[in-house]
Amino acid sequence: MHASPEHFDVLIVGAGLSGVGAACHLQTERPGTSYAILEAREAIGGTWDLFRYPGIRSDSDMFTLGYSFKPWENAQAIADGPSIRSYIHETAREYGIEDRVRFAHRVVRAEWSSADARWTVHVEKGASGERVELTCGFLFWCSGYYRYDQGFTPRFEGRERFAGTIVHPQHWPEDLDYTGKRVVVIGSGATAVTLVPAMADRAEHVTMLQRSPSYIVSLPGQDRLAQALGRRLPAKATYAIVRWKNVLRMLLSYRLSRRRPQLMKRLLRAGLERQLPAGFDIDTHFKPRYDPWDQRLCLVPDGDLFQALSRGRSSIVTDGIETFTENGIRLTSGQELEADVIITATGLEMQLFGGATLVVDGQEVDPAQTVAYKAMMFSGVPNLALAMGYTNASWTLKCDLIAEYVCRLLAYMDEHGYRQVTPVAPDPSQQLSSVVDLKSGYVQRAAARLPKQGPRLPWRVHQNYFKDVRMFRRSPIVDEGVRFSAGAPAEERPELELVA
């Protein structure tokens, strides 16, 4: 006799910022719901526990990256990694989430049965590789959008010849000592602009080597409005006001970039001219070939990158890489950068569902052949939601809304006796596009593997918090994009609906 797998109403995959937040919403809004959190690693925190490189920090302000239900009370609006990790742990403790987490539980396969109206989730436990099965009525995936086991590193000619140390920021060695050494950071994104000023004080010199520039903007590390209001108002009131102020600021920045890109370029350049030394070659090093918000803007708190460049402890080189050499990197121009340590801040590898395989009624799901429904579910895939944040604003803003909606959806299904909810694809005549609209390298590399979106609701993915508040909190649960059922016999199961 084989014991039945342990069953839960909801299984949450991932114990990072979005997974802990999802659990808090479940406990608050659906206190009778049974759930567990499956975490592949040995710790809570997700991104903020994995990344340990010098200076690791948020690239969004914590009044919007923080949870809607838990005010951020630290003075630093642009927070460092350890502070964010502590915030997540504190939230988990306050809501009793820690006891619900099953660590070293990596989901490798999830199989949906319409006959049983449940998922069977296959889990690999820790280093032993022991396999266990759990079942649930609803699967809530909160594992982010990138591979945790490896970052992206392009092939560099001559890499094996380099006599120094090569490090990818995603896997930073605890014992790396760069004191008094020459460091080259390859990259121009958020990680690179964080590393350069963070390493400059200890290293002999830090060079940021970029193939092409990114847009970089400086914001105060502390929010002046929050400081002023905090002296007069309770923490919750201050948090709510500053949160909405920052949401509006991000939305206006995005809209201006889309509608008046040339004006936005001039504003960004004016900011650079105020921060950088007179005569600095802005056109070469800080003038991207794309429009603002085609890729995410890089945020530097209090202009720390520009200060490091001004002090001469760091520099920036814009050039291609011809080959690694024994002593450093030879550039396309013929110049050689000498280095003791090379940091490949070259980006992420996108990966939905943590690399797990999804199967619906015996048919394997190709995410690229599905259409996103309300930016959180996928055509033909029942009883599954994905917490996916914004590309033009803070991640948690949208994940909070999605968690609220999942609670609404579950309540509706309970009230009407439904056991299955399945999104459907729009009419084939509708033009589809990628669910992520950025032109960043990590997105473009994964474009062929990503789900699609339609031209209108409920299949359109907004990058607009105000529209999403309306959709997730107030839109009808029943619309043309979903089908509900109480559970169909095998001969009546719908075919898995995919897109061409």
Question: Model confidence over 147-206: pLDDT tens digits?
Answer: 888 888 889 999 999 999 999 999 999 999 999 999 999 999 999 999 999 999 999 999
Name the residue type at position 185. V
pLDDT of residue 495 exceeding 80, the answer is no
pLDDT of residue 300 exceeding 80, the answer is yes
Q: Note the pLDDT tens digit of each residue in 226-259.
A: 999 989 999 999 999 999 999 999 999 989 998 9
Supply the pLDDT for residue 316.
Answer: 96
Residue that is written with structure tokens 């994940």 in the block: 399
Q: Is domain 6-148+349-492 annotated with CATH 3.30.43.10?
A: no
Instruction: Give the percent of the chain with pLDDT over 90.
Output: 78
Calculate mean pLDDT across residues 255-279: 93
Question: What are residue 485's DSSP bridge partners?
Answer: 420
Which class for 286: exposed (0-12), middle (13-18), buried (19 or more C-beta within 10 A)? buried
Q: pTM of the prediction?
A: 0.92
Residue that is written with structure tokens 């302000």 in the block: 61
pLDDT of residue 358 exceeding 50, the answer is yes
Supply the pLDDT for residue 491.
Answer: 37
User: pLDDT category, 398, cuts 50, 70, 90?
Assistant: very high
Among candidates 211, 182, 116, which has minimal Cα distance to 420?
A: 116
Supply the pLDDT for residue 2.
Answer: 59
Which class for 473: exposed (0-12), middle (13-18), buried (19 or more C-beta within 10 A)? exposed
pLDDT of residue 320 exceeding 90, the answer is yes
Cβ-contact 339, 99 below 8 angstroms: no
| Topology of the domain covering 159-224+253-344 | FAD/NAD(P)-binding domain (3.50.50)
Q: Note the pLDDT tens digit of each residue in 457-472.
A: 999 988 889 999 999 9
CATH 3.50.50.60 domain range(s) in the chain = 6-148+349-492, 159-224+253-344
